[in-house]
Chains A and B, each alone.
Chain A
Amino acid sequence: MPQFQSTKSFFLYVPADSPIHKLHPLTKLVIVFVINLISFFVMDFYGTLCLLALILILLAIGKVPLSLAKSFVMALLGIIQLIMISYLLFTQIPGNIIYFEAYVVLLRWHIYVSDATLLNAFTMDIRLVTLFLTTTFFLATTRDRDLIYGLRKLHIPYAGCLMFSLMFRSMSLFVDDYYIIREAMMSKALDFGKGSIAKRLRRYVFLIIPLMILMVKRTEEIAYAIEARGIPIRGRKRAVYHDFPLTAIDYAVCGVFVSFFLGIVVGKTYLGFNLGDLAFGIIQRFIDILRGFIK
């Protein structure tokens, strides 16, 4: 077995002794779900900033090192640039004009950049970062098996949970296979770092054949191993080995987050309340106080 694979969990899991780690996986799912949902209702700059602050606080409580996020920072930067550029080129959001240029190229296209355009683009970027961090938060504090416990607590049918579990198992086998095959190809004088992009891509096509063959073989073996232990796919009463009790703290945390969500939705639809306005107000007050202090 290759040893580069001794990650203890397939996810980004970082073992730590934090209150977050002690929460029931279902509670963490609720937190992630709520933050994602809220981001649909909070569109403005200050509101988004609030959500970002919230997830940063959660990450800090969970003792998750931010360096964990560095693996997808590059991909993220690309997307951020893309959002910026598309906002600058293709939107016309009314506001104080910063730059304007009219083009007539078949279509009547003109570039119109206002302060509102920039603010919107920036808000969009922050939302994206927030969502990425939320996922990181979940994966870093939850083991893959905990996710399955969480799913079972939600009464997801057994076949579904088993499927998830098998998926994680086969992913780690798949990664192992991938590396071994690559090394085997290198032993046959195939240099992965050389040649044009088209050539490089073709080499990866070669990889697929043994990967598929191994996968088909394994699938059969795994299926046999499961059936040999008397696992009917459906239709029989099963017992549940684990008891996954939700503690009072879990209920409390879920309660706080769900009411936070409801507060925002109800506030926004009926009371004209907006998280962003509140945050803006608070920041203004803070600046005022600071000014007064300086004077």
Chain B
Amino acid sequence: MRNQIVAENLWWQYEGAKDWILKGINLTVKQGEFLGIMGPSGAGKTTLCMCMNGLIPQRARGRYKGCVKIGDLDTIENKMFELAGKVGMVFQDPETQFVMMTVEDEIALGLENLALPREEMRERVRWAMDVVGLSDDFLGKTPLELSGGEKQRIAIASILALKPEILILDEPTSNLDPVGKAEVFSTVEDLKNKFDITIIVVEHEAEKLAEFADRIIVIYNGQIVEEGSPREVFKKVDTLKSLGIRSPQVTEFAQYKKWDDVPITINEAEKKLAEMLKKEQYRIQKIEVKTEGKRSREPIIQAENLHYTYPNGGKALKGVSLTIGKGDYLAIIGPNGSGKTTLAKHFNGILKPTDGKVLVDGSDIKKATITKLASKVGYCFQNPDHQLFCQTVKDEVAFGPLNLGLTKEEVEERVDKALKTVGLEIFGDEHPFFLGKGQRQRLAIASILAMEPEVLIIDEPTTGQDYRMAEEIMCLLDQLNEKGHTVIIITHNMPLVCEHVERVIVMLDGKIIVDGPPAEIFTREDVLREAHLYPPQITQLAKKLAKFGVPGNVLTVEQMNRVLS
């Protein structure tokens, strides 16, 4: 196979940045190869992708050293539009890369630049839609009518229509819900199987890359630190962990058991374990799974037959009743548009019920003021960019307490305490804009913590964060919960739910369909199917081994390790 991408000693430093973000990358990608790129946030993954289609050095500003050849094209000498014919790139945010008003125009946009005859453009649009598995009915739709997964598939289609030799996908699923993720991955799988196209994917989820990738590179601090087949890379579980990357759960399990030949996909693990269980190499232990957390009986939030209709007539909540006790640690899960966020926004009075009642600490939110509710229930939004408005980190954290009307001394005390809790005390005088993404997320949490609310609601605490940052944030929440705060998270991250929370609420179509401890939820096949939930890989493995007597309520790798001894 011939080499399709050759990068030699590649260096890049963004204008205004203190350090080089790429530090001497050497990389060769062969035609038809499926390359996975992993690494913690800020390691330079996206930057490396941008070097391959000429955005760097042709558009982004900064310092550049080295060279990248795409076939016989050079990313410095050849124009961007020449490179675009060979290298297609799909970005992370499905929202900002959809630039036209309809799906058809979106896909046609690139084709028009190739100056193709109209008939051929039509054919290619239809072909591309077919490849990503969307019917012709979608052609006339506007971006406002599409789900995140659909938008991302259209982004892929609009690149495929150009028939590039190389397709680069930069964290294509990190902004999507589980349904969207599954849609995009099955599209990627199709591409790999049906076409001779080189695919490069940046992805945090090791389980997916283990299934598809021919080769994996791990980037850390601007350099390639690990390289090899998925098996070679993932079996270094501890090394990866120290770099902020998680191996597939089945590989972690094998590490616990110190197996020599490690499985990296669920099928491999199943095959191996089935054989071992047949030979009775392991005994199956019953484990005690908490079915009832340390839930107190004293309620803090109560919702009774809650209905909410948006001004445009969309019914987001259709009769929700629940009680959240003081000190609960719970997760609200369910597909996008199921009403999770709408429900949570009632808890601090951002939204008022159309019908029904919400009581916070005994008082009706319809009568309470914003100030009073905000001091009781803190709500942290998903994207830190939406909630940081001040000039320094300290001001940012002081914003809420000042609105509560506290004295200057009290405010200062709270600011120091909150910043210490999230580990940002040394950045007090920095501008929030110059913090990294994970730091901004923690700052957003600190700014809510400073108001010392009893209840803390966090919308998607870990989206787009690497494993280590997600773990840090979750540990922080664990600590807060232990101190007595009620913690509510809204998330799509199932391993996280299994490892941390005690109670799960599954929402679907504006209603709560199940409410219970994670071990119970993830054994209910009907619920999982209905709400499009995918349990963690280790739970799936346990279910596959049910015929050997492995209990289906195993939620973490650590539990699985105890079950099989």
Contacts and interface: CB of A to CB of B under 8 A. Distances in A.
A226 to B, nearest CB: 6
A243 interface: yes
Contacts of B349: 186
B256 interface: no
Nearest to A210: B389
B115 interface: yes
Contact of A236 (B83, B101, B113, B121): B113
A225 B97 contact: yes
A107 B112 CA distance: 65
A224 interface: yes
Contacts of A181: 386-387, 389
Interface string A207-219: 1011001100110
Contact of A184 (B55, B115, B143, B387): B387
Interface in A170-197: 172-173, 177, 180-181, 183-191
A186 B108 CA distance: 42
Contacts of A218: 96
B488 interface: no
B314 A189 contact: no
A240 B451 contact: no
Contacts of B162: 229-230
Given A173-B96, A225-B96, A232-B81, A240 B118 contact: yes
Interface residues of B, number: 83
B399 A169 contact: no
B275 interface: no
Contact of B144 (A172, A177, A222): A172
A222 B369 CA distance: 40
A155 interface: no
A79 B113 CA distance: 47
A39 interface: no
Given A189-B374, A230-B84, A241-B108, A222 B386 contact: no
A200 B274 CA distance: 67
Contact of A230 (B113, B312, B369): B113
Interface in A236-255: 236-243
A168 B50 CA distance: 27
A120 interface: no
Nearest to B311: A4
Nearest to A168: B101
B104 to A, nearest CB: 8
A83 interface: no
Given A188-B400, A221-B96, A227-B84, A239 B111 contact: yes
B426 interface: no
B113 A165 contact: no
Interface stretch (B357-365, B377-385, B411-419): B377-385
Contacts of A51: none
Contacts of A241: 104-105, 108, 111-112, 118, 121-122, 125
Nearest to B148: A1
Nearest to A4: B310
A82 to B, nearest CB: 30
A177 B379 CA distance: 17
Interface string B385-406: 1111110000000011001100
A39 B336 CA distance: 50
The listed residue with most B CB atoms (<10 A of its CB), out of A9, A180, A210, is A210
A189 B109 contact: no
Contacts of A223: 59
Interface in A4-42: 4-9
Interface residues of A, number: 59
B265 interface: no
A227 B400 contact: no
Nearest to B369: A191
B386 to A, nearest CB: 5
A143 interface: yes
A110 B404 CA distance: 56
A183 to B, nearest CB: 5
B336 A236 contact: no
B102 A190 contact: no
Contacts of B79: 232
A278 B98 CA distance: 53
Given A213-B433, A241-B108, A206 B389 contact: yes
A224 B91 CA distance: 9
Contacts of A231: 81, 109-110, 113
Given A169-B98, A207-B389, A227-B59, A187 B381 contact: yes
A125 interface: no
A228 B404 contact: no
A241 B122 CA distance: 8
B312 A7 contact: yes
A210 B388 contact: yes
B1 interface: no
Contacts of B316: 3
Nearest to B372: A189
A236 B96 contact: no
A286 to B, nearest CB: 44
B381 A239 contact: no
B99 A169 contact: yes
Contact of B145 (A8, A144, A206, A210): A8
A173 B314 contact: no
B504 interface: no
B17 interface: no
Interface string B99-142: 11110110011111111111001100100000000000000001
A166 interface: yes
Contact of A188 (B115, B122, B399): B399
Given A172-B144, A186-B370, A213-B385, 7 more contacts: A1-B336, A4-B311, A189-B403, A214-B385, A224-B59, A225-B97, A228-B88
7 contacts: A5-B144, A7-B144, A184-B381, A190-B370, A191-B370, A228-B84, A228-B159
Interface of A: 1, 3-9, 143-145, 148, 162, 165-166, 168-169, 172-173, 177, 180-181, 183-191, 206-207, 209-210, 213-214, 217-218, 221-232, 236-243
What are the 9 A-B residue pairs with the smallest beta carbon separation, nearest first? A230-B84, A145-B101, A225-B97, A189-B374, A241-B108, A229-B110, A189-B403, A184-B387, A230-B81
